[in-house]
Amino acid sequence: MGGQRETLFNLYRETHGECVDGDASAWTERLQFFRDLVAANYLAHLPDRDARILEIGCGPGYLLKALQERGFARLEGIDLSPANVALCRERFGLDAIVAGDAAELLASRRGGYDAIVLKDILEHLEKAGLSDFVAVLASALAPGGRLLVQVPNMHWVAGLHERYMDLTHEIGFTRESLAQLLRLHFAEVQVSRVQAIFPRSVKQRLVYGWLRPLYLRAYRLHLRLVSEGAELTWFECREILAACREPRVASPRETV
């Protein structure tokens, strides 16, 4: 990796992360979102609290902090942005965070982790190198280890925005293509919708708990009428999550 891409990743916090994250006043709200995200989507797939967990592309540390608050203590992170690593340490006191290349770290830690988490990372990798990278991920898992991969969902109604909102995005995934890639190296691949709406007020619970499901049913009917098979897409969820187990088994299966 060199030239423009290397510069973009080295300055990722300064050129992109701050635009998405907002200023310091938004940190508390952003952390609460990750607490909810972890509780709703990740906890069911993670090993016990003594598990050694690595997050690749940990950004400013929200997900790791949410896991720490849930009792996970053996947490590590790696990110290409030195500014993100500094934020992990300064804002949340997460010390086992390093700046560097994940593939190099994984190659030196074969069988070293009980779980590896990638949130919004695979879409930044060049297509030709995806399978090799997933193979390295699989080799870094201990027996019984799990790989959790969250990516933007190209079936989402605004999927085009997700594909092109970031200059470092190289590829996009649907639930089918994500599972197809991961099945090359894992026997069990379960892809699910990411729950990312967490109503708090009475008004929000009314809108998202009652009105939204009715609207989605009507919209799905609309898709069925105007385009064959379109109603089967996961158009309503911005992101998808794959949970993978049993690396390097020759008879893969998928649960969607």
Task: Report pLDDT for 8.
Answer: 83
Do 230 and 138 lie in one domain? The reply is: no
The pLDDT tens digits for 154-190 are 999 999 999 999 999 999 999 999 999 999 999 999 9
Same domain, 150 and 25: yes
For residue 18, what pLDDT is reported?
Answer: 64
Are 151 and 97 in a shared domain?
A: yes
pLDDT for 7 equals 86
Give per-residue pLDDT as tens, 6-27: 888 878 878 876 665 656 668 8
Q: How many C-beta atoms lie closer than 10 Å to residue 143's C-beta?
A: 8
Are 72 and 53 within 8 A, CB to CB?
yes
The answer to whether residues 220 and 142 belong to one domain is no
> Quick one: 208 and 130 in the same domain?
no
Q: What's CA 47's distance to the chain center, in Å?
A: 17
From first to last of its 256 residues, the chain has per-residue pLDDT tens of: 568 878 888 788 788 766 656 566 688 899 999 999 999 999 999 999 999 999 999 999 999 999 999 999 999 999 998 999 999 999 999 989 999 999 999 999 999 999 999 999 999 999 999 999 999 999 999 999 999 999 999 999 999 999 999 999 999 999 999 999 999 999 999 999 999 999 999 999 999 999 999 999 999 999 999 999 999 999 999 999 999 999 975 444 555 5
Q: Are residues 56 and 164 in the same domain?
A: yes
- 173: which DSSP letter? B
Q: How far apart are the C-alpha atoms of 69 and 153, rounded to whole Å?
A: 28
Give the pair of three-digit tokens for residue 240.
């998808």
**Which pLDDT belongs to residue 251?**
45
Q: Which domain holds residue 214?
A: 199-236
Q: What is the DSSP string of 93-154?
A: ---SEEES-HHHHHHT-TT-EEEEEEES-GGGS-GGGHHHHHHHHHHTEEEEEEEEEEEEBT
Examine the domain organization and report whether 52 and 177 are in the same domain.
Answer: yes
Number of domains in the chain: 2
**H-helix or E-strand spanning residue 65:** helix 62-69
Q: How far apart are CA 12 and CA 27, in angstroms?
A: 18
Closest by alpha carbon to 45, among 95, 97, 119? 119
CB 63 within 8 A of CB 55: yes
